[in-house]
Chain A
Amino acid sequence: MKYLDEYREQGAAARLASEIRRRVTRPWTLMEVCGGQTHTIVKSGLLDLLPPEITLVHGPGCPVCVTPLELIDAAAAIASRPEVIFCSFGDMLRVPGSSQSLFDIKAAGGDVRIVYSPLDALKLARNNPERQVVFFAVGFETTAPANAMAVWQAAREGIQNFSILVAHVLVPPAIEAILGSPNCRVQAFLAAGHVCTVMGFHEYEPIAGKYRVPIVVAGFEPLDLLDAIRMAVVQLEEGRAEVENQYSRAVRRQGNVTARQRMSEVFEVSERAWRGIGDIPRSGLRLRPEFRAFDALDRFPCALGRVRESAECIAGLVLQGLNKPFECPAFAVRCTPETPLGAPMVSSEGACAAYYLYGRRS
């Protein structure tokens, strides 16, 4: 298939891998930020091709994994209301809250639906004026423009029965949080290509400079990732710390200006708690005051108490790249995709689930 097969080709993969082996002289630790990239790395068996000097750690870029428990509980409470049609991307449905997942709510009679776009949810609101349609706006900068568009359009059309539950998070503050942690062992980042498609990569330039860390914007196919790893290794070996763009077929330095405009028209930057990591300043989005009428939390007030998370799961360490999933004693024993102890085991983008599905060996 055009635009895919050429990025999954064995000969080219072998050439890139041998170039990495040729350039590497000592151990380096790289973090791929995005869960979609973790998924590709584990699914394609890419680790088999890398020299032992390269360690990849899997970053916090799985929106499903980092959505705080209290927001999932709020989603469950809202979805249980009889007047509500609750719409979500598919992989959010299995995420366990403190007592129930959205799948459980659906099994108990809640009207929970999988949609592929927030605009589909808006259409549902138009077609069901007697119901309240709520969309779970989860994701990084990648999904934010479409969600902003849905709200903007609802406002323009005066659609009263549509709202969104905002759980947006931003990548650069998370990278800074990881770099600022005293335990940080990451020496270079592979930035999330799709986030950069929207945002561009200019906002990573100060981070690369301040922390002296190479950042390579990477795509999502196996050869994209091998190439990005090669670029990062070359920078590390040459002692450079720059932002480079491997994913140039999709990413421009300034990103998608129209999408960013719509995003900042509707959303503003806010504090945000990350599941498994904690509060990161200015790392989330909320609706601007003029669009606050579309905030599901205002429309359906729920108590957003801090929910206590318990002790066995090491999701926080995994999400920061301090531990590999299989280093957790619960991994694949007490924690599986059927009975997840933590969110990274739930979404197929979660590092734990990726290792569980594709990486286990007997």
Chain B
Amino acid sequence: MREIQFTCPAPQNSQDRILLAHGGGGKLTQQLIDRIFLPAFANAALEARHDGAVVEAAGARLAMTTDSYVVQPLFFPGGDIGELAVYGTVNDLAMCGARPLYLTIAFILEEGLPVETLRRVAASAAGAAQSAEVTLVAGDTKVVDKGKGDGLFITTAGVGLVESPGAVGPASVQPGDAVLVSGDLGAHGVAILSVREGLEFDSPILSDAAPLWAPVRALLDAGIEVHCLRDLTRGGLASALNEIAGSRQVAIRIVESSIPVSEPVRGACEILGLDPLYVANEGRFAAFIPAAQADRALHILRTIPVSAGAARIGEVAEAPAGIVTLRSRIGGSRVVDMLSGEQLPRIC
């Protein structure tokens, strides 16, 4: 046989348009933040790169945040876009160690949307606000031409009062901290995907969407020194840990066999070719706690229904800085990187 020719694929791949992956919570999202938003809006509160900003006004420490919700389908097993729009913003405040107080809500509606759909979403958002003990105090409505929106988009913004005595955020993370997660991972993302892909399971996988202030408050009330909290939304646990390891320049080591993932979610991820570490959650968070207090923190979390499945999954170390590593089930070690964009189902 003749000798094989070695050729080299070298495409140009300029990203001069927004791709869906820019909204995936991975590296492309970070690129937008680094290259466009931070230079445009630079200030100290933004530089903290946390889920929400902590600002001072008239002697009070306030947490502020905003988020937009574009989920399809609007109604999914275990929740809907209205509930999500409230919990997502409430949770970003809780991750600042703040008691969520007030929310605003803005709707972008597509011409032709059934009013009944809007009524259901509003009722659901109201119920979620009640269970999260926040008040929806202002709102806005816009309607766009048919075909210019996906039925219904929601943006919420929230204000909360910081109750944590210490600063809660990546900057407070210390080598030696224990890493806890508040429950099993991946249910929300898989619930959405299973509807989109028409997958059916013996018992449906329900979204984990839930407000997270109760477990955070329980930790603070018990005097736990909470260094950092991060809800594990877009991009999942892997992206959250990478963001924190990267901005604090520490190493994070996690142990695969200690990361809780329910059997149905594991099964669905195997079928769909997804890694549960990257799947979105809407009612789960990671907590960085001094190792000496980790067992007590875990015990406290497990007494609260929304975090009853909490687990200790790893630790913070000094080196290699900025890298997340995982000890695999078979005892090997590997890097857990941040995804470039969305997870893509593999061919075979």
A interface, CB within 8 angstroms of B: 1, 4, 8-10, 13-14, 36, 42-49, 63-64, 69, 89-94, 96-99, 101, 103-104, 106-108, 114, 116, 138-140, 142-143, 176-177, 180-182, 194, 222-223, 226, 275-278, 309-317, 320, 336-343, 347-349, 356-362
Partner of A44, one of B21, B266, B321, B329: B329
Contact B13 A49 (CB under 8 A): no
Residue of A nearest to B18 (CB): A107
In the bound complex, how far is the Cα of B215 from the Cα of A177, in angstroms? 60
The 5 A-B pairs at the shortest CB distance, nearest first, are namely A45-B332, A316-B6, A96-B11, A180-B1, A90-B344
B204 in the interface (beta carbon within 8 A): no
- The one of A4, A91, A142, A310 that contacts B10, using a Cβ cutoff of 8 Å: A310
CA distance A322 to B18 in the complex (A): 37
Answer whether residue B148 sits at the interface, using C-beta atoms and an 8 A cutoff. Answer: no
With A and B bound together, what is the CA distance between A81 and B317 in angstroms?
Answer: 53
Whether A107 lies near B347 (C-beta < 8 A) is: no
A278 touches B10 (CB 8 A): no
B319 contact set on A, CB distance < 8 A: 362
The verdict on A1 contacting B332 (CB below 8 Å), with A108-B17, A342-B9, A362-B321 known, is no
Question: Is there contact, CB below 8 Å, between A356 and B337?
Answer: yes
- Given known contacts A44-B332, A45-B331, A103-B19, is B347 in contact with A138 (CB within 8 Å)? yes
Contact B344 A1 (CB under 8 A): no
> Contact check: which of B6, B20, B331 meets A106 at CB < 8 Å?
B20
Q: Is the CB of B335 within 8 A of A177?
A: no
**B31: chain A residues within 8 A (beta carbon):** 338
- How far, in angstroms, from A298 to B281 measured CA to CA in the complex? 45
**B326 to chain A: which residues have CB within 8 Å?**
45
B43 on interface, CB distance cutoff 8 Å: no
Q: A46-B330, A104-B17, A341-B9 are in contact. Are A347 and B335 (CB under 8 A)?
A: no
Given contacts A69-B11, A360-B335, contact A90 B3 (CB under 8 A): no
Q: A48-B332, A98-B11, A311-B10 are in contact. Are A361 and B346 (CB under 8 A)?
A: no
Contact flags B235-273 to A (C-beta < 8 A → 1, else 0): 000000000000000000000010000010011001011
B19 touches A339 (CB 8 A): no
* Cβ of A248 to closest chain B Cβ, rounded Å: 20
Q: Which of A44, A107, A182, A347 contacts B346 (CB 8 A)?
A: A347
Q: A276 near B9 (CB under 8 angstroms)?
A: yes
Are B344 and A140 interface neighbours, CB within 8 A?
Answer: no
Known: A10-B331, A107-B19. A177 touches B4 (CB 8 A): yes
Are A315 and B340 interface neighbours, CB within 8 A?
A: no
Partner of A314, one of B8, B270, B321: B8
Q: Which residues of B contact A106 (CB under 8 A)?
A: 19-20
Interchain CA distance A275-B6 in the complex, whole Å:
9
Does residue B5 face the partner (Cβ distance < 8 Å to A)? yes
Query: What 1/0 mask marks residues of chain B from 326 to 346 whose CB sits below 8 Å from any chain A CB?
Result: 111111111111001100111
| A194 CB to nearest B CB, Å | 6
B78 within 8 A of A: no
Which A residues lie within 8 Å of B1 (CB)? 176-177, 180-181
Q: How many residues of B contact A (CB 8 A)?
A: 52
Give 23 CB contacts A-B under 8 Å.
Answer: A1-B270, A10-B257, A14-B331, A45-B327, A45-B332, A45-B334, A46-B330, A89-B346, A93-B344, A97-B11, A140-B348, A176-B1, A275-B9, A277-B4, A309-B8, A312-B8, A313-B10, A316-B5, A316-B6, A317-B6, A336-B340, A338-B31, A362-B321
Verify if B7 is at the interface (C-beta below 8 Å from A). Answer: yes
Q: How far is the CB of A7 from chain B (nearest CB, A)?
A: 9
Q: Is the CB of B4 within 8 A of A43?
A: no
Which of B4, B332, B345 is close to A46, meaning CB atoms less than 8 Å apart?
B332
Give the distance in Å from the alpha carbon of A337 to the alpha carbon of B27 in the complex. 10
Q: A341-B9, A342-B10 are in contact. Are A43 and B328 (CB under 8 A)?
A: yes
Whether B8 pairs with A8 at a CB distance below 8 angstroms is no
Q: Is the CB of A343 within 8 A of B9?
A: yes
Query: CA A169 – CA B10 in complex, angstroms?
Result: 21
CB distance A104 to B331 under 8 Å?
Answer: no
Interface: B28 (CB within 8 A): yes
- Report whether A91 and B8 are in contact in the complex, using a CB–CB cutoff of 8 Å: no
Complex Cα distance, B329 from A14, in Å, reads: 11
Which residues of A are found within 8 Å of B331, using beta-carbon distances? Answer: 10, 13-14, 45, 48-49
Query: B52: shortest Cβ distance to chain A, in Å?
Result: 27
Give Cα A300–Cα B6 distance, bound, in whole angstroms: 30
Q: Is there an interface contact between B334 and A43, defined as CB atoms closer than 8 Å?
A: yes
**CB closest chain-A residue, reference B22:** A107
Q: Is the CB of A320 within 8 A of B344?
A: no
Query: Roughly how many angstroms separate A303 CA and B248 CA in the complex, as a whole number?
Result: 51
User: Which residues of the partner chain B approach A348 to less than 8 Å between Cβ atoms?
Assistant: 344, 346
**Do residues B9 and A309 form an inter-chain contact, with CB atoms below 8 A?**
yes
Which of B263, B323, B333, B347 counts the most chain A CB atoms within 10 A? B347
Beyond A97-B11, A309-B10, A349-B347, whether A47 also contacts B329 by CB under 8 A is: no
A48-B332, A49-B330 are known contacts. Are A349 and B346 too (CB-CB below 8 A)?
Answer: yes
Contacting pair A116 B332 (CB below 8 A): no
> Which of B19, B28, B330, B335 touches A359 (beta carbons < 8 Å)?
B335
Instruction: Identify the closest chain B residue to A138 (Cβ).
Output: B347
CA gap between A349 and B273 in the complex, in Å: 11
CA distance A64 to B9 in the complex (A): 12
- Which residues of B are found within 8 Å of A360, using beta-carbon distances? 323, 335, 337
Contacts of B309 in A (CB 8 A): none
Tell me the bound Cα distance from A317 to B9 in angstroms: 12
B79 within 8 A of A: no
| CB of B197 within 8 Å of the partner chain | yes
Task: With CB as the reference atom, state the residue of chain A lying closest to B264.
Answer: A1
Q: Is A276 touching B8 in the complex (CB atoms < 8 A)?
A: yes
**Residues of chain B contacted by A313 (CB below 8 angstroms):** 8-10
A338 contacts B28, CB within 8 Å? yes
Given A1-B266, A194-B348, A357-B335, decide whether A315 and B9 contact each other with a Cβ distance below 8 A: yes
